[in-house]
Amino acid sequence: MLLTFLLSLSDGTGERGPSPAERLLGPARAGDKAAREELIRAYTPLVLRVGSQVTGRFLRVGRDEEVSVGLIALNEAIDKFDPERGNAFIPFAEMVIRRRLVDFYRRNAGRVEVPLSEFTTEDDAGTPLQGLEMQEAIAAHQRQVEAEERRQEIARYARRLAEFGIRFSDLVEASPKHVDARERAIAIARMVAEDPALAGHLLSRRELPLKQLERRVEVSRKTLERQRKYIIAVALLLLEDFVYLRGYIAV
């Protein structure tokens, strides 16, 4: 259920704990070697995934030169990333890694061995990363990317709700307690999202079109007002690009 999921967030504001990039980029750029090594460990699966996409084959740390090139590109991305531009670190790092690998192939001037000694490539248990299957590394990174995208979407949704004067904690009181009532509220939200006039009223005035709805649904105005915040919250999910959270709506 959507409400249960939202209220399970750590501080009730839609913000989860920081990603490795958010937590470590600043210290790494400021010269903290341990932070840089931890950041490289965290995003080594990114290097493997992008490298596999460029080469069309599985890569292994310590065995394939492309991984060395990718790790150095990741190190470069840490130095060059500018958070003030509003971009996320992962897409930027992917771009730098891809470009450096393409440059590596274009040069085609012999195979230059790039040492891995600067990079600690062990997992949290101390197991060398080259012992992992590539499929597992790619899958682990994909989960990490999806988790970060979901966290960012939740934060974006919280900001959007705030524009309507709604906080996640408000939805506790506004959420229908019975399944049938909740289904009716979601159906009303869907009606709002699918009707251009109702949706336009909601988005332009940032209020639920109660008068129009009252004439079209078999629910009292008092009930509509009581469930107003919940209906708006669901309608926004249906109207806008919240692909992860939308999956929690059950009808």
Question: Is residue 153 a part of any domain in this protein?
Answer: no
Residues 130 and 47 in one domain: yes
- Containing domain of residue 111, as a range? 20-147
pLDDT at 150: 80
Instruction: Look at residue 196 and tell me if it is in a domain.
Output: yes
- What phi and psi, each to the nearest 5 degrees, are found at residue 24? -115, -20
Please give the tally of structural domains in the chain.
2
- Using a CB cutoff of 8 Å and minimum separation of 24, what contacts does 87-91 make? 88/21, 88/148, 88/152, 89/19, 89/21, 89/25, 90/21, 90/43, 90/46, 90/145, 90/148
Q: Are residues 177 and 141 in the same domain?
A: no
Flag whether 3 is in a domain: no
Q: End-to-end distance of the chain based on CA atoms, in angstroms?
A: 10
Last residue of a domain, one of 95, 113, 147: 147
pLDDT at 133: 47
Q: φ, ψ for residue 219 (rounded to 5)? A: -135, 140
Residue 2 lies in a domain: no
Amino acid found at 245: L
Distances (CA, A) of 123 to 7, 58, 59, 129, 134: 32, 19, 17, 6, 14
Instruction: Quote the pLDDT of residue 138.
Output: 56
141 with 242, same domain: the answer is no
Give domain status of residue 13, yes or no. no
Mean pLDDT by 10 residues, the chain (251 residues): 52 54 86 91 87 82 86 93 79 90 72 40 46 53 71 88 92 84 92 94 95 92 93 93 74 42
Whether 69 and 176 share a structural domain: no
